């Protein structure tokens, strides 16, 4: 058995610590002045993605050391282990095989002695059948009307992926169908999503890996009551409900015909499931061919990640850059700023992907980490964010590396809107990197007292990720890029990026509090004095 050297004791880590001291004050202005080719040199073009990482506070030596750290951390063997189907989700003893969801027919990936790829394609075919029936109007509701509304009920990975993908690919969606997404246990979500829908024309997709999640099951039962209020007969449920789950028994118990259940597997994590049957709403929206094109985009990125040398490997470089800021500059947050309105839910999606994956405080063997793990991800589409929080990124006291994401071709050409959009994206990255010196401000005859206010320090790093057009395949590539960047970070931090124990305590406490809100028994409350008082206060207000 090989002994793993703890991260902070690895040669490359220690070299990076020393290197950081040397380069921390280096300014991007200087780096660009010293090397006029930097903006061309520090770019990679692969599988239709142009990645510019020149505006990062790195030198060639930084990159060499980061790559050395990846090597010393066994990143290569971790990647191979994932692709082989090893049980790398150690705390749940599961394989991590979202890459199998987009494996082409004929590829073999074995889990517990069984090739999982044929099963993946069988489910895709079944999804295609369902989506074609809904899209063509062949799928009729209980009273014989065609389905016009698709409502996905799910939460977390069973919601964020479907919503994000629907919004991202809305351009390609069948416009005579209405899509709604219900996730929150707050009744408002259900009421607002269904208030103008005709039950006779509505199909609910109950999306839940476990089929036990409180929010989803509560909303699913409410949906059934809502439907039966109009359609009256329990047989209607079979025509208006389908399920996506790994839990056949619970689906049957709910009353959904298991012929209308779309299966996936315990080796697909919730936040890695938008390309599994959880994407049924996406497939109904864009059709099975476009969905398969999206899978092909994912697969292209998988292959790039698996085979490209690390110094030309997009997710590896992206992950290493996150680590550089997170662990050496003590950066706390990363902004994702798509200059593409259709990607308005991308950062919400990435929050679960990145933060549920890498928000961990112990290594795989349970040892407390002595370094920072996953940063906070957030963001909004440009240019909207420019008129809200960019002020802080430009002139605040915090260092926030940014990912700018743009497309050279608009999906909706309109006058010169697209040129204006991209001009803004390029301008923001330029302004962040190079800023504006006091001398430059003074040269504009600005009064001396205003100069500090109008000075931009610059040296604020960003990546620019450019693709040609937001197609289903492009979306697949982008999402897989972040998935594998998260993998790269987690592998080096030696954490389990695929469990999520941190959500359990709150769930258990809520289960204990629910009956306490609904009874008058004062003696039952055995929480801390704050929680007890809040519960009493609530009960008094409600009853």
Active site residues: 356, 387, 507
Is the Cβ of residue 11 or residue 214 nearer to ligand F6P in the bound state?
Answer: 214
The reply on whether position 208 binds ligand F6P by CB under 6 A is yes
Residue 209 or 345: the one with the smaller Cβ distance to ligand F6P is 209
Is 156 an interacting residue with respect to ligand F6P (CB under 6 A)?
yes
Q: Of 95-103, 202-210, 337-345, 367-375, which part binds ligand F6P (CB under 6 A)?
A: 202-210
Indicate whether 131 belongs to the interface with ligand F6P (CB under 6 A).
no
Using rule CB under 6 A, residue 157 touches ligand F6P: yes
Structure tokens at 103: 């494996």
Cβ proximity to ligand F6P: between 183 and 383 the closer is 183
- Cα–Cα distance for residue pair 124/343, rounded to 1 Å: 25
Length of the chain: 543
Q: Which stretch binds ligand F6P (CB under 6 A): 134-142, 154-162, 307-315, 523-531?
A: 154-162
Taking CB under 6 A as the rule, does residue 98 contact ligand F6P?
no
Which SS3 state, helix, strand or coil, does residue 44 take?
A: strand
> Is residue 155 close enough to count as binding ligand F6P by CB under 6 A?
yes
Which residues have a Cβ under 8 Å from the Cβ of 503 and sit 6 or more positions away?
A: 356
Residue with Cβ nearer ligand F6P (231 or 256): 256
Q: Which of 143, 210, 218, 222 binds ligand F6P (CB under 6 A)?
A: 210
What is the distance of C-alpha 524 from the center of its chain? Answer: 41
Applying CB under 6 A, what is the total number of residues that bind ligand F6P? 14
* Residue 407 CA neighbour count, 13 Å, CB half: 21
For residue 368, report the phi and psi dihedrals to the nearest 5 degrees: -60, 130
Long-range contacts of 356-359 (CB under 8 A, 24+ apart): 356/156, 356/271, 356/500, 356/502, 356/503, 357/271, 357/486, 357/490, 357/497, 357/498, 358/486, 358/489, 358/490, 358/493, 358/495, 358/497, 359/502
Shortest spacing between CB 497 and ligand F6P, in angstroms: 12
Give min distance, CB of 165 to ligand F6P, in A: 15
Element (H, E) at 102: none
- Choosing from 131, 152, 158, 194, the residue that interacts with ligand F6P (CB under 6 A) is 158
Tell me: does residue 89 bind ligand F6P (CB under 6 A): no
Assess 213 for contact with ligand F6P (CB under 6 A): yes
Q: Is 122 in the site for ligand F6P (CB under 6 A)?
A: no
Cβ neighbourhood burial of 234 (10 Å; 0-12, 13-18, 19+): exposed
Cis status of the peptide bond prior to 383, with omega within 30 of 0: yes
DSSP character at residue 362:
B
* Min separation Cβ 356 and ligand F6P, Å: 6
In the list 503, 511, 517, 534, the residue contacting ligand F6P (rule: CB under 6 A) is 503
Residue from 85, 141, 162, 270 that binds ligand F6P (CB under 6 A)?
270
Distance of CA 234 to the CA centre of its chain: 37
Binding site for ligand F6P (CB under 6 A): 155-158, 208-210, 213, 216, 270-271, 356, 500, 503
């Amino acid at each position: 058995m090989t002994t793993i050297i703890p991260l902070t004791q690895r040669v490359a880590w220690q070299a990076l610590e020393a290197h950081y001291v040397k380069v921390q004050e280096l300014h991007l202005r200087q780096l660009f002045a010293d090397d006029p080719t930097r903006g061309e040199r520090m770019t990679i073009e692969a599988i239709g993605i142009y990645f510019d990482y020149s505006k990062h506070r790195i030198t060639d030596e930084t990159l060499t050391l980061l790559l050395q750290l990846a090597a010393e951390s066994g990143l290569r063997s971790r990647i191979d282990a994932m692709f082989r189907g090893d049980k790398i989700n150690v705390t749940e003893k599961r394989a991590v095989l979202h890459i199998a969801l987009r494996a082409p027919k004929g590829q073999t990936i074995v889990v517990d002695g069984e090739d999982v790829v044929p099963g993946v394609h069988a489910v895709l075919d079944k999804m295609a059948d369902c989506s074609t029936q809904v899209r063509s109007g062949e799928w009729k509701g209980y009273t014989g009307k065609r389905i016009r509304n698709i409502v996905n009920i799910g939460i977390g990975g069973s919601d964020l992926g479907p919503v994000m993908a629907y919004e991202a690919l809305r351009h390609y969606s069948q416009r005579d169908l209405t899509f709604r997404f219900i996730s929150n246990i707050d009744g408002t979500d259900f009421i607002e999503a269904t208030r103008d829908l005709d039950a006779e024309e509505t199909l609910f997709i109950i999306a839940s890996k476990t089929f036990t999640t409180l929010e989803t099951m509560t909303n699913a039962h409410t949906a059934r009551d809502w439907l039966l209020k109009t359609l009256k007969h329990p047989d209607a449920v079979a025509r208006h409900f389908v399920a996506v789950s790994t839990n056949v028994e619970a689906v049957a118990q709910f009353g959904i015909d298991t012929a209308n259940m779309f299966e996936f597997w315990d080796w697909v994590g919730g936040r890695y499931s938008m390309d599994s049957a959880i994407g049924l709403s996406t497939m109904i929206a864009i059709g099975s061919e476009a969905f398969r094109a999206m899978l092909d985009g994912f697969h292209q990125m998988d292959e790039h990640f698996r085979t490209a040398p690390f110094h030309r490997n997009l997710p590896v470089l992206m992950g290493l850059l996150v680590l550089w800021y997170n662990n050496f500059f003590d950066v706390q947050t990363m902004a994702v700023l798509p200059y593409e309105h259709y990607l308005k839910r991308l950062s919400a999606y990435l929050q679960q992907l990145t933060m549920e994956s890498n928000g961990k405080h112990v290594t795989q063997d349970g040892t407390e980490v002595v370094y920072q793990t996953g940063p906070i991800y957030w963001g909004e589409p440009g240019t909207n964010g420019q008129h809200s929080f960019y002020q802080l990124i430009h002139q605040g006291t915090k260092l926030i590396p940014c990912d700018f994401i743009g497309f050279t071709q608009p999906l909706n050409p309109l006058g010169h809107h697209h040129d204006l959009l991209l001009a803004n994206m390029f301008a923001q990255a330029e302004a962040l990197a190079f800023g504006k010196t006091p001398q430059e401000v003074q040269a504009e005859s600005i009064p001396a007292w205003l100069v500090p206010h109008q000075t931009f320090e610059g040296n604020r790093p960003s990546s620019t990720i450019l693709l040609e057009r937001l197609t289903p395949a492009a979306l697949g590539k982008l999402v897989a890029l972040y998935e594998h960047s998260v993998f790269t970070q987690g592998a080096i931090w030696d954490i389990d990026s695929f469990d999520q124990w941190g959500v359990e305590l709150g769930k258990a406490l809520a289960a204990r509090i629910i009956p306490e809100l609904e009874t008058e028994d004062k003696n039952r409350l055995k929480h801390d004095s704050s929680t007890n008082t809040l519960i009493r206060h609530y009960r008094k207000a409600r009853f």
